[in-house]
């Protein structure tokens, strides 16, 4: 079904840049970059240094209703590589919930495609897999890629005016309402998000992505193009991965800013590691993920591999835990995802109550933000990130959006939560305003 060619590359960095420029001609693009040089810790769990999928041969696009069942049918029938995304609002397919908040982006709830052309990077080699119907284009494509110029570093757009969907005083009021739910015992923790947006704005998506990726160098960077809609992501978080019969999830809870002064940076890292509130947030989500994984796990196979480990990225320190499980070989991969969706780090505990309260207090439909982007292999393995630290863009509507959030617990301080949101938003704001 696919023709495979192994191609040696002198400079992966140069070839990656050229490949992304070349990919812009297609309507369907998913680019996933692990940024291996900057993420040594994360490499323990990584399959590829980078992956590009372009040019849909078949695809599925649907709203949330029966979304997972439709994806299951599509993945089973195609039995090939498929790439795409799950929006947060597929929660409404998993539970009896709704999404009624404002949506300026209008991404379909679920989208996957089978690429005609696929590039898999590992070290100084790229494995090129083309469907047989286009395999006569490999050599010409390689020539074209090598002649692509890196895009210039001109202005991304005229001055972008970023607006707040929720103003500071209103944010404090909403956190107080969230805390009232916690004190009443409705929930223990919930992830509350707010949107920053710009209207009537035109950007160069590839240039914006390149700037964001250069600033952040995250392990789950993503450039996604679905016709006129774009995701430009500097995600540091893995949602869920399947390799053979092993599942891993790596929720993030706990963020600290970086410092240019080595001693101060080390102190910030140590402070995060010992921060009682951050640890309790993380451990609550670990318990939730363990419970989610147990729905499809073989008895006694759920394990916490890393608890509250500090990973350091270019912009921030993060507290990350790694939970694993084993599944029966006959368990359908889509069922594994559905049983854990949406991810605990973006919802709260108990999950259903948290999602109801989130929907009532937030002002924006989350859509692809706090959803997941990734792929399925022909053997049913998969790997998905969490869509955070991301710019979303609807080219036709000229609408740009990025959202940030934080976990609210009984120990939360409204001002500190607000300041943490600004730390998380820093890279996106810098890229868009400068």
| Domain membership flag for residue 334 | yes
Count the residues in the chain.
Answer: 434
pLDDT in tens, 81-136: 999 999 999 999 999 999 999 999 999 999 999 999 999 999 999 999 999 999 99
Q: Is residue 180 part of a domain?
A: yes
364 phi, psi to nearest 5 deg: -125, 140
pLDDT at res. 384: 98
In a domain, 155, yes or no: no
Determine the pLDDT at residue 46. Answer: 84
Would the pLDDT of 39 be above 90? no
Rounded to an integer, the average pLDDT of 223-247 is: 98
Domain holding 382: CATH number? 3.60.120.10
Indicate the burial class of 135 (C-beta count within 10 angstroms; 0-12, 13-18, 19 or more): middle
Count of domains for the chain: 1
Q: What percent of the chain has pLDDT over 90?
A: 91
Domain assignment present for residue 153? The answer is no
For 105, phi then psi, to 5°, come to -100, -40
Q: Tell me the per-residue pLDDT of 277-300, one tens digit each, with 9 for 90 and over.
A: 999 999 999 999 999 999 999 999
Let me know if 237 is a catalytic residue. Answer: yes
Give pLDDT, residue 186. Answer: 98
The single residue listed with the structure tokens 């998913």 is: 30
Structural domain containing residue 262: 2-147+161-433
Q: 156 lies in a domain?
A: no
CB 399 within 8 A of CB 199: yes
Decide if 253 is catalytic. Answer: yes
Helices (H), 296-374: 333-338, 351-361
pLDDT at 21 over 90: yes
Of 16, 241, 253, 338, which is the active-site residue? 253
How many Å apart are CA 164 and CA 376, to the nearest integer? 36
Within a domain: residue 309? yes
Letter string b/e over residues 379-411, b meaning 16 or more CB atoms within 10 A of that residue's CB? ebebbbbbbbbbbbbbeeeebbbbbbbbbbbee
| Catalytic-labelled residue, pool 237, 281, 362, 417 | 237
- Segment 168-195 shows an average pLDDT of 97
Check residue 330 and give its pLDDT: 96
List, for residues 342-358, the tens digit of each pLDDT value.
Answer: 999 999 999 999 999 99
Mean pLDDT of 176-203: 97
Query: Do the Cβ atoms of 292 and 336 come closer than 8 Å?
Result: no
């Amino acid at each position: 079904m696919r023709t495979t060619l192994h191609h040696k590359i002198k400079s992966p960095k140069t070839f990656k840049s050229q490949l992304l420029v070349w990919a812009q001609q297609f309507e369907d693009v998913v680019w996933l970059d692990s940024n291996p040089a900057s993420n040594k810790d994360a490499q323990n769990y990584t399959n590829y240094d980078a992956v590009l999928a372009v040019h849909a041969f078949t695809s599925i696009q649907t709203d949330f209703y029966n979304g997972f069942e439709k994806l299951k049918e599509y993945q089973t029938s195609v039995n090939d590589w498929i790439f795409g995304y799950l929006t947060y609002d597929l929660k409404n397919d998993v539970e009896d919930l709704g999404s009624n908040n404002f949506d300026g982006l209008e991404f379909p709830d679920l989208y996957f495609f089978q690429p005609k052309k696929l590039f898999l990077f590992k070290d100084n080699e790229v494995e090129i897999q083309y469907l047989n119907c286009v395999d006569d284009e490999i050599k010409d494509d390689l020539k074209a890629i090598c002649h692509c110029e890196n895009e210039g570093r001109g202005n991304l757009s005229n001055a972008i005016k970023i607006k707040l969907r929720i103003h500071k005083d209103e944010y404090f009021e909403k956190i107080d309402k969230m805390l009232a739910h916690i004190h009443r015992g409705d929930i223990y923790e919930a992830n509350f998000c707010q949107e920053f947006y710009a209207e009537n704005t035109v950007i160069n998506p590839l240039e914006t992505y390149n700037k964001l990726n250069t600033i952040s160098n995250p392990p789950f960077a993503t450039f996604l193009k679905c016709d006129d809609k774009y995701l430009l992501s500097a995600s540091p978080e893995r949602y869920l991965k399947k390799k053979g019969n092993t599942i891993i999830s790596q929720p993030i809870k706990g963020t600290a800013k970086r410092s240019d002064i080595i001693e101060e940076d080390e102190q910030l890292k140590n402070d995060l590691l010992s921060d009682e509130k951050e640890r309790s947030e993380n451990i609550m989500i670990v318990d939730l993920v363990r419970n989610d994984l147990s729905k499809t796990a073989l008895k006694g196979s759920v394990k916490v591999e890393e608890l509250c480990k500090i990973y350091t990225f270019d912009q921030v320190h993060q507290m990350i835990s790694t939970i694993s499980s084993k599944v029966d070989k006959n368990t359908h991969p889509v069922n594994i995802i559905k049983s854990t969706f949406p991810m605990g780090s973006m919802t709260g505990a108990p999950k259903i109550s948290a999602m109801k309260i989130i929907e009532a207090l937030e002002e924006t439909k989350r859509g692809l933000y706090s959803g997941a982007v990734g792929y399925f292999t022909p053997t049913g393995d998969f790997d998905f990130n969490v869509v955070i630290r991301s710019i979303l863009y609807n080219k036709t509507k000229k609408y740009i959006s990025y959202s940030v959030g934080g976990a609210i617990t009984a120990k939360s301080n409204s001002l500190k939560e607000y300041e943490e949101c600004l730390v998380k938003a820093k890279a996106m704001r810098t890229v868009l305003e400068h």
